[in-house]
Structure 1
Amino acid sequence: MGSVVVGVIGTLLGVLIGVVAQQAQAKRSHRWQREDVLNSQRWQREDVLGSAKRAVYAEYLRSISASYAQAISGQRTRTEDAHLLAATAELEILSGPEVAEPARDLVDTVMKVHERIATGSGVPKAEVDAVDRRRLEIVDLFKADLGLPTRASTAHGSGRSRP
């Protein structure tokens, strides 16, 4: 009879330990699933934000190029200025100040220089080159914000310098 009691107690303890272990495993599994869902949602939001930023950054840069093309042709309709200002407004919403502020500053300079080019008032090549260098710096800011390699990181990584 003693061995039966020991057997029953052992069985009950085994069942109890099994239930506790199963509950712990279920909680752990549930926590992992919840974390996976939250991570998946976060990644989806980041993908959407990254896509929106890419589109705005591309429109911003396209508008600068189109504005310059209008300026050198002397047919400045200011439509690209409107596109550039709209892209800048979106950029300020989607990006942090470390990207938005330099981009906003460049817009003011670009519009002034392009206006002077269009009117034929003579803009020194050095000034146009300086604006273009600032544009390239903005491109690097955009790339860094999107997690893409920049001109500087590419130059350092390859051992070659780029102009």
Structure 2
Amino acid sequence: MGTVIVGVAGTLLGVLFGGDLQHLQASRTHRWQRDDALGKLKQAAYAEFLRSISASYGQAMAGQRTRTEDARLHAVTAEIEVLADREVSGPVRDLTDAIVDVHSKLAEGAGVEQATLAAVDRRRLEVVALFKADLGITQT
């Protein structure tokens, strides 16, 4: 009788332990999938942000400022603010404001000092480095 009780208790403990392990593994898998999906969303938003900067600069240099790229730039900035931490989204918002201002002046022909352009480009490169760090891309 005692061996039967030990056998049944062992079986029940095994079922409980196995269920806990299965639940833990399912939780880990879910977290990995969520992190992977978030990484892909961030990567797409970061790429769109940089593409919008380039397109906005092209419009400004051509003097044909339709503001479509400004709208895209603001939209993707808002998306980054939702997806990324403040360490990334803060500099992105600041850079967006600077870019819209500088590109507007360029398009108007108001003249922008080379030092100002260089400073904005330096900030862009700093944001690119933040993007890479956030995505876990090692820099060489």
TM-score range, shorter chain: over 0.9
Do structure 1's residue 140 and structure 2's residue 129 form an aligned pair?
yes
The separation in 2 between residues aligned to 1:68 and 1:116, in whole angstroms, is 11
* Structure 1 segments unaligned to the other structure (5+ residues): 1-11, 155-163
The aligned counterpart of 2:61 is 72
The aligned counterpart of 1:158 is none
The aligned counterpart of 2:27 is 38
82, 85, 106: which one pairs with 1:117? 106
Aligned residues: 140
Between the two structures, name the one with larger relative contact order (CA 8 Å, sep ≥ 6): 2
The aligned counterpart of 2:86 is 97
Code of the aligned partner of 2:4: V
TM normalised by structure 2 equals 0.93
Do structure 1's residue 57 and structure 2's residue 58 form an aligned pair?
no
Q: Which has the larger radius of gyration?
A: 1
Over residues 56-75 of structure 1, what are the superposed CA-to-partner deviations in whole Å (9 max), with x where a residue is unaligned?
11111110111011111111
73, 83, 86: which one pairs with 1:84? 73
The aligned counterpart of 2:37 is 48
* Structure 2 segments unaligned to the other structure (5+ residues): none
Code of the aligned partner of 2:126: E
The aligned counterpart of 1:17 is 6
TM normalised by structure 1 equals 0.80
Over residues 118-150 of structure 1, what are the superposed CA-to-partner deviations in whole Å (9 max), with x where a residue is unaligned?
122221222111111101111111111122224
The separation in 1 between residues aligned to 2:114 and 2:60, in whole angstroms, is 14
RMSD: 1.3
Code of the aligned partner of 1:119: E
The separation in 2 between residues aligned to 1:95 and 1:45, in whole angstroms, is 14
1:14 offset after TM fit, Å? Answer: 2.4
